[in-house]
């Protein structure tokens, strides 16, 4: 659907990321007016990351293919000479990271972990079935819908892994760009998208780490190789992307990676939900990556259980030994931690452990009322004023730009 930006009033900024600004908007072209999240990418922003244009369009194309209760759908998009904007359903419940911080002890109960994992696995299974590897699973990207169920967000780092055909051979080493931490994360997470091997970045450190590796890594490698995952042959990607504490050993090593990176990230996320911290965090990035390569997760204060067994299997350093590598999502679902889960009836049977507070939900009604009363601002004007602030800048927009 083509969104008519003349009919859209932005009510507030929901968040900012490397790719763009996300607004809560009311669209009066529908009757009654509808509320959604509008992600806006500025085409000519001076802070634009290399390749951002392609990644923004990629995100839109991924969204247009999704149809799953725990994944966002593309409501519509709009493009001007300055902006690319796309709309997805608004999730009023915040994200899993914020939710964890709101808990008194900062960790989820085993039952809550099982609930969230089943929905995330179900969403990953759908992505993988489309040949899409997500590559950015972390609590901040797990949003909570109004009914307490999850939605994964942020697909600009995802990647299509085409089935093996004629394997392209191209590989051009270049300097490794590290994305500056532009996003106001609640913790110091920097997303990384290196073009190729990170070894230049690591220097000596990676060599030390490499010497501790169990499986030898070929020094000579093509940009793509193939292997069998489930019933299909998929290529592997060699780009170095992800979020520091969530990147897998094969990404750190620059070995090439495929769907198993998502199962690794699921292991990190599960650990964080259970222990309130990620398993490999070091004092700096180099130490974190060395830990990713060499250190085993510590299960301090917890008896060995199906949960710790699941985490250990998802965090297998060798991707070919990792849960989910050979058998995909079905293999992960079959782990004893999920015994009794009715995977086909998740929405009907599973009750969310937490629901967004009623005040947060009432925001929707209030937002629609204020939009009907003519409040809000034009997103095109918002960016124009950011570029050329004028003394006459509208008070409400001014406050929002300082958000
Ligand atoms: N559907 C939504 N409902 C509510 N809030 C949302 C929604 N989508 C995104 N947000 C908010 O906007 C923030 C930025 O969104 P998103 O992560 O998609 O942007 P990004 O530019 O791709 O970020 P990143 O730097 O992680 O790539 C999120 O962290 C979240 O707080």
Q: What is the pLDDT of residues 198-254, one digit of tens each?
A: 433 333 332 322 222 222 223 233 333 334 444 344 555 555 556 789 999 999 998
Residue 362 confidence class, pLDDT cut points 50, 70, 90: confident
CB of residue 26 inside a 6 A radius of ligand 1? no
CA 372 to ligand 1 center in whole angstroms: 25
- ipTM exceeding 0.90, yes/no: yes
Q: How far is the CA of 226 from the centre of ligand 1 (A)?
A: 33
Q: Which residue has the higher pLDDT, 169 or 187?
A: 187
Which of the following is catalytic: 136, 154, 255, 262?
A: 136
∠ CA 67-72-77, rounded to 5°: 100
Q: Ligand 1 in contact with 192 (CB < 6 A)?
A: no
Burial 119-133 (b: 16+ CB within 10 A, else e): bbbbbbbbbbeebbb
Question: From the CB of 154, is ligand 1 less than 6 Å away?
Answer: yes
Inter-residue contact 371 to 36 (CB < 8 Å)? no
Residue 305 has pLDDT above 50, yes or no: yes
Q: Is 140 in the pocket of ligand 1 (CB under 6 A)?
A: yes
pTM score, whole prediction: 0.81
| pLDDT at residue 204, rounded to an integer | 31
- Residue 389 has what pLDDT? 63
In terms of average pLDDT, the best of 56-65, 243-252, 338-347 is 56-65
User: Which ligand 1 atom lies nearest to the CA of residue 140?
Assistant: 29
Residues 6+ apart with CB under 8 A from 257: 133, 236, 237, 238, 248, 250, 251, 319
Is residue 91 lining ligand 1, measured as CB closer than 6 Å? yes
Nearest C-alpha to atom 9 of ligand 1 is from which residue? Answer: 22
Q: Between 37 and 256, where is the model more confident?
A: 37
Q: What is the mean pLDDT of residues 22-27?
A: 93
Pocket of ligand 1 contains residue 262 by CB under 6 Å: no
The ligand 1 atom nearest the CA atom of 16: 14
Strands 232-235 and 226-229: antiparallel
For CA atoms 14, 17, 21, 22, give the dihedral sign.
negative
Task: Residue 400: name the closest of 141, 374, 385 by CA.
Answer: 385
Q: How confident is the model at residue 44 (pLDDT cuts 50, 70, 90)?
A: confident
pLDDT tens for 124-176 read: 999 999 999 999 999 999 999 999 999 999 999 899 987 544 333 322 222 22
Catalytic residue flag (residue 156)? no
Give the range among 184-198, 301-315, 356-370 with minimum mean pLDDT.
184-198
The CA R_g of the chain, rounded to the nearest whole Å, is 22
Pocket test for ligand 1, best of 10, 11, 15 (most atoms within 8 A of CB): 15
Which segment of 29-38, 265-274, 315-324 scores lowest on mean pLDDT? 29-38
For residue 219 the two structure tokens come to: 């020094």
More confident call, 196 vs 119: 119
């Amino acid at each position: 659907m083509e969104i008519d930006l003349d009919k859209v009033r932005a009510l507030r900024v929901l968040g900012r990321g490397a790719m763009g600004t996300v607004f809560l908007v009311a669209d009066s072209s529908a009757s009654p007016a509808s509320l959604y999240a509008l992600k806006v990418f500025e085409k000519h922003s001076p802070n634009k990351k290399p390749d951002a244009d392609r990644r923004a369009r990629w995100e839109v194309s991924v969204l247009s293919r999704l149809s799953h209760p725990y994944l966002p759908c593309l409501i519509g998009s709009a493009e001007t000479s300055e902006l690319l904007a796309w709309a997805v359903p608004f999730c009023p419940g915040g994200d899993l990271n914020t939710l964890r911080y709101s808990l008194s002890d900062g960790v989820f109960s085993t039952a809550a972990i099982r609930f969230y994992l089943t929905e995330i696995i179900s969403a990953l299974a759908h992505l993988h079935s489309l040949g899409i590897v997500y590559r950015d699973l972390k609590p901040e990207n797990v949003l909570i819908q109004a009914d307490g169920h999850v939605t994964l967000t942020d697909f600009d780092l995802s990647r299509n892994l085409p089935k093996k055909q004629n394997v392209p051979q191209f590989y051009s080493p270049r300097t490794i760009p590290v994305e500056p931490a532009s996003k106001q994360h609640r913790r110091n997470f920097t997303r990384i998208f290196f073009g190729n091997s990170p070894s230049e970045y690591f220097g000596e450190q990676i060599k030390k780490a490499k010497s501790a590796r169990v499986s030898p890594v070929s020094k000579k490698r093509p940009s793509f190789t193939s292997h069998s995952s489930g019933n299909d042959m998929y290529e592997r990607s060699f780009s170095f992307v992800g979020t520091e504490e969530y990147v897998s050993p094969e990404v750190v090593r620059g070995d090439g990676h495929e769907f198993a990176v998502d199962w690794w990230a699921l292991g990190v996320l599960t650990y964080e939900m259970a222990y309130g911290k990620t398993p490999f965090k070091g004092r700096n990035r180099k130490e974190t990556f060395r830990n990713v390569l060499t250190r085993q997760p510590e299960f301090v204060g917890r008896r060995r259980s199906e949960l710790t067994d699941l985490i250990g299997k998802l965090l297998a350093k060798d991707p070919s030994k990792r849960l989910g590598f050979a058998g995909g999502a079905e293999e992960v679902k079959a782990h004893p931690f999920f015994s009794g889960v009715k995977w086909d009836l998740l929405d009907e049977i599973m009750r969310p452990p937490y629901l967004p507070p009623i005040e947060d939900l009432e925001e929707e009604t209030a937002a629609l009322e204020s939009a009907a009363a003519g409040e809000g601002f034009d997103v095109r004007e918002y960016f124009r004023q950011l570029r050329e602030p004028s003394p006459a800048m509208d008070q409400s927009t001014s406050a929002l730009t300082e958000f």
